[in-house]
Structure 1
Amino acid sequence: MKLAILSRNSKLYSTRRLVEAAREQNHSVRVLDPLRCYMRIASDGFSMHYKGRPIAGYQAVIPRIGASVTRYGSAVLRQFELMNSVTPNSSDAILRARDKLRCHQLLAAEHIGLPTTVFGDNPDDTGDLLSMLGAPPHVIKLNEGTQGAGVMLTEKLSASRGVIEALRGLYANFLVQEFIEEARGADVRCFVVGGRVVAAMKRQAPKGDFRSNLHRGGSAKGVRASAAEQDVAIRAARVLGLGVAGVDLIRSARGPLVLEVNSSPGLEGIEDASGVDVAGEIISYVADRLKRRIAKKAASR
């Protein structure tokens, strides 16, 4: 398999592990910076250049597209898809997952549990918006924040109003959610590959914080996700169309609730905590998808 990995930095742990796993499975692999890919789009076909030279023939592409380059990165990935490359996460699926509001709407429509969420635009509606949610504490999240950035906890109604007013003054898009107190600052990340949970870890927020992200000082340990947690994680990835996803769940009194679905989840924390070769699982899944596509084409001739 001729494989490309879209990543801004070939030295990042996740990118390095995918390269190692691909080579261990005897695949040809190259890391491409999506911002150095540029495209020709015409009715007679699609083509791509990279750093001054044409690139083609990549049978599969694994996207590692950060939030800051979502728009351009997803366009590059779409170009590869139009050039017949297989990918575990399509450009459209990445866009669905990256937009928290859209993601929550899609999950709720399929009756997947999540914290009650409200969203509004007009300042005149703030009071009624918060009454739809219920009494504080409230969690306020930027719609496209990552790694715990842009997530705030407000313990009083006046604080919720103040943060909302400040964010509206900055023209920021944000959601307001109920705070699940019984979770005690912990969540479970289920790593889904090809419709199954291949690894899971429990993350715990540091003392004095409620965000369990490892980038925020949280700790992690490998766990076995319950059957209910695995089911919710697999369903959430399927609804968004993601073959590879990190699904963050919170354990509540009413069962597992989805906090976020990450289309480019980091590998370092989950591999360290679980001891699972997650990179190898991803490469095997992509290779299998390619084999099935080739077999399907052969059968249709």
Structure 2
Amino acid sequence: MSTKVAIVADRVGWEERQLISAAPDLGLEIDWVNDESLCLGDAKAPSIDGYDALLIRSRSYTRGGLLATLAESKGVAVLNSASAIHACENKLVLRAVLDAAGVPVPDFRLVLSRKDFDKALDDLGLPVVLKPVYGGMGKRVTLIRDSDLAHSVYDYVEDLGHAFEQACLMEPYLGGGSIRCLVVGEQIVAAAEFESAGADWRSNAALGNQSRALADDSEVQKVVDGVVDQLGAGIYGVDLFKTPSGYLVNEVNHAPAWRGVASTTGVDIPSAVARHVQEILA
């Protein structure tokens, strides 16, 4: 009898299609369940009744974290865990958790006001990167190279309607490249180095940047092990900066895209995900 898994997401993207098409050969039965129509609360909610596990792939951090929390409270197996999703959805929480555990992260300042912003500029100097505490896929991440632009950028931030949208991190600009490690369980199953392409300085796989496969690196493994120790085994995209002093954790994505890493490395990621699901349900 096949293990039944629900992919909880607001849409079926490339990664979800790969998992669904490969499922029968991997001993799984995978369906898409729209994360906007679960109506959880009842322990036997019809939308998830009969599934052995939920694979949270919501693009919305808010929906993903709330649904994982409620499903876990009803005894449903969830990937990733609610605690891991809540840590990943908030860049400040993630930085604080990792830094407290000795996992290297970039220097940063929390910016909640114009006074914070001005002080952070004085502390860090230009160029800096301003990014929202909540967000992903490189959206609203801004490289600031001069002071005139800096204050215009913050005019825009101040005009956002909600306080959570205004909360930002400022950090030194560390260059145009990053390393994406795709973690399944506790292991790096694929890793690639992405470089910004053309006029866009952001090195983000979702933006279609150039990439190359990354060979095994004990220092990368050590940093990623530190991340997994704090978040628990799961399915993560761990993004690192490479600096003269070593690797730094930029972000961890709880519902990572892996098309770029898969095309660069040739790794069969759906099989790795299937094995992990079966391991946690054994």
| Fold shared, TM-score > 0.5 on shorter chain | yes
1:48 is matched with 45
Cα distance, 1:3 vs structure 2:
1.3
Deviation per residue, 1:60-92 (Å, 9 max, x gap)? 11110113xx32333323333233222231122
Q: Equivalent pairs: percent with the same residue? A: 26
- Tell whether 2:217 aligns with 1:216: no
Q: 1:173 corresponds to which letter in structure 2?
A: A
Question: What secondary structure is seen at the aligned counterpart in 1 of 2:44?
Answer: strand
Point out the structure with max Rg over C-alpha.
Answer: 1
Q: Residue in 2 aligned with 1:61?
A: 54
Q: 2: CA distance between counterparts of 1:280 and 1:39?
A: 29
Distance 1:124 1:88, change over 3 A: closer
What is residue 297 of structure 1 aligned with on the other side? none
Mapping 1:150-161, distance limit 5 Å: 150-161=140-151
SS at match of 2:111: coil
User: Shift in Å at residue 33 of structure 1?
Assistant: 0.7
Q: Following TM superposition, by how much is the alpha carbon of 1:246 offset from its aligned partner in structure 2, in angstroms?
A: 0.5
Partner of 1:20: 21
Q: CA deviation at 1:15?
A: 0.5
Alpha-carbon distance, 1:235 to partner? 1.5
CA contact (8 A) 1:193 1:282 kept: yes
What's the offset of the Cα at 1:242?
A: 5.1
Q: What is the DSSP-based 3-state SS (H/G/I as helix, E as strand, rest coil) of the residue aligned with 1:87? A: strand
Matched, 1:8 2:1: no
For residues 190 and 124 of structure 1, the distance between their equivalents in structure 2, rounded to whole angstroms, comes to 36
State the aligned residue count. 276
Change beyond 3 A, Cα 1:9–1:128? closer
Residues 245 and 265, structure 1, Cα contact 8 Å, conserved in 2: yes
- Listed as ranges, the matches of 1:168-183 within 5 Å are 168-170=158-160, 171=163, 172-181=166-175
8 Å Cα contact 1:59-1:84 kept in structure 2:
no
Match of 1:245 in 2: 236
Conserved 8 A contact 1:190-1:225: no
The alignment's C-alpha RMSD in Å is 1.8
Q: Structure 2 length normalisation: TM-score?
A: 0.91
Quote how far apart the aligned CAs of 1:195 are: 1.0
- Superposed, which structure 2 residues align to 1:259-298 within 5 Å? 259-291=250-282
Q: Distance in 2 between matches of 1:57 and 1:80?
A: 13
1:93–1:242: 8 Å Cα contact kept in structure 2? Answer: no
Deviations 1:233-281 (A, max 9, x none): 2321331335110001111011001111011111211111110011210
One-letter amino acid of the counterpart of residue 130, structure 2: I
Q: Secondary structure at the match of 1:106?
A: helix
Which residue identity is paired with 2:101? E
Which residue of the other structure, out of 129, 153, 169, is the alignment partner of 1:139? 129
1:203 is displaced (CA, Å) by 0.7
Q: Which consecutive unaligned segments of at least 5 residues does structure 2 have?
A: none
Structure 1 contact 87–286 (Cα < 8 Å) conserved: no
Q: 2:156 aligns with which of 166, 174, 190?
A: 166
Q: Tell me, yes or no, if the aligned pair for 1:120 and 1:126 is still in contact at 8 Å.
A: yes
Equivalent position of 2:81 in the other structure: 90
Determine the C-alpha separation between the residues in 2 that align with 1:148 and 1:237: 23
1:99 aligns with 2:65: no
Q: 1:227 aligns with which of 201, 208, 218?
A: 218
